[in-house]
Amino acid sequence: MSTARPVALLTNAVAPDQLGGLERYVRELAAGLVEAGHPVTVIAKRTSPHQAAEEVGEDGVRVLRHAAPNKRDPLFAVKYAQTVVRASDSALAALGPETVLHAHFVVPALAPLLRRRPFVYTFHAPVYRELLHERQGTYRLPAVVQRPAVAGLRSAERWVLRRARAVVALSEFSRGEIRTLSAAVAEDALVIPGGIDTTRFMPADRGPDSTPPPRGMPLLVAARRFTTRTGLLELVQAMPAILRALPGAHLVLLGDGRARNRVEGEIASLGLGSAISLLGRVTDKELLAWYQAADLVVMPTQELEGFGLTTAEAMSCGTPVVATPVGANPEVVGPLGPDFLMGGIAPDEMAVGILRAAARVGVSPLAAAQVRAAVHPRLSWGAVVERHIALYATVGRAAGSN
């Protein structure tokens, strides 16, 4: 395949417009493909009216943005699907047949499906569960609409999976989630893990001002969206038991979200204000510094962890991660050994797991190079992009033979 073959990535939103794991993944994959010689267009919704309809970033990625309905609209789910499919279809009409189409979200994936154009689909999570079932406090669906909306999105997701020319799962756990929608698709799905920028996420040089000042020992850091799924409330509830064993421990929470008020209330009710710092969203530079400064990064996921971006980034910095046995966490943390996998997701189980990992680090620290080797170079964007390019070549040959 020519290195100049164009690629279009269809998704819901893209970084830096929105800063979740999916949005960052799509942007960094796009940038890696550009670096490898492929012109890339990302088709995504506008998250702010001030964003340009079309722009080319410093990374060489072209972004086409379309409008989206207001989430407060009672009929948001229906209007969103109609708007996104129509806008994605319009953008695809201007792309030549040589363009590789790679969808990362089920609704925009309907556009190439309806046009009968071959496409690759990366399954990040079961959208019908993660978005509509949980709703994340943002989708104001009337009760009478909720159940059919979930069923409709589940059917659409199954349809997309079955019609995709190739399906990518980010982990074996994700492949298992695909199996709940189609066993045949899961059998053929290709596991390509998420990528991380291992040239940026590196162990600290420990020089002056290289990391934030320590806030207690051990220093625990969790970088997560504040939703019920990510387990920050349970992590806060685990802290009293941790402090009884390690009175100097300090927990730093990075991120924001709709569950933040509830987490703040729990910290206050437990009297943990001096032991837990909520720093909100931080810059990329600050995130890196906190990964490097931590004695342990904590991944307290309750459900649906398709890859674990935070886990991989922290380990690339040479910092061990202790995680719940949920989703893909065991696949990423596994190389560190059993001491870094909690026994469950309840606060008391988290406390036991964190204390065990802290004791392991205190008695026999893992070398930063050893921790980093568990993710680098296997999860570096260079390696992940190479696998995607090889997949695109296969898809191109299959399309040409039809």
* Co-location of 259 and 315 in the same domain: yes
- Structural domain that includes position 36: 7-195+380-401
Structure tokens at 206: 């420990």
CATH number at residue 312: 3.40.50.2000
> Whole-angstrom Cα distance, residue 29 to residue 49?
25
Q: Contact, 112 vs 11, CB < 8 A?
A: no
Q: Which two tokens stand for residue 64?
A: 């086409």
CB 38 within 8 A of CB 3: yes
Decide: 110 and 12 in contact? Cβ < 8 Å.
no
pLDDT (0 to 100) of residue 4: 72
Same domain, 180 and 49: yes
On whether both 165 and 251 belong to a single domain, the answer is no
Is residue 223 domain-shared with residue 314, that is, in the same domain?
yes
**Co-location of 162 and 25 in the same domain:** yes
In a domain, residue 203? The reply is no
Q: Where are the beta strands (DSSP E) in 98-191?
A: 100-103, 120-123, 166-169, 190-191
My answer on whether 367 and 389 are in the same domain is: no
Inside any domain, residue 270: yes
Q: Does the residue 13 lie in any domain?
A: yes
- Do 18 and 164 reside in the same domain of the chain? yes
The pLDDT value recorded for residue 208 is 42
How confident is the model at residue 72, as a pLDDT?
74
- Give the model's pLDDT for residue 206: 52
Structural domain contains residue 201: no
Count: domains in the chain:
2
- Looking at the structure, tell me whether residues 391 and 347 fall in a common domain: no
240 and 367 in a single domain? The answer is yes
Residues 258 and 286 in one domain: yes
Structure-token pair, residue 239: 């802290």
Count of Cβ atoms closer than 10 Å to residue 75 Cβ: 14
- pTM, full prediction: 0.88
Sign of CA pseudo-dihedral 169, 175, 178, 183 = positive
> Do 97 and 147 sit in the same domain of this protein?
yes
CA atoms of 387 and 302, how far apart (whole Å):
30
- Two tokens, residue 51: 């964003």
Inside any domain, residue 208: no
**Which residues have CB under 8 Å from 282's CB, separation 6+?**
254, 290
Q: Are residues 121 and 250 in the same domain?
A: no
Mean pLDDT of successive 10-residue segments in the chain (402 residues)?
79 92 94 97 95 97 92 72 93 93 96 94 84 49 65 89 97 95 96 95 68 71 93 98 97 94 97 96 93 96 91 97 96 96 98 97 90 96 97 73 45
Within-domain flag for 67: yes
The predicted pLDDT at position 400 comes to: 46
On whether residue 28 sits in a domain, the answer given is yes
Which pairing describes strands 62-66 and 54-56: parallel, antiparallel, or unpaired?
A: antiparallel
List helix spans (H) across 117-247.
127, 143-163, 172-179, 183-188, 232-245
Residue 43 in domain: yes
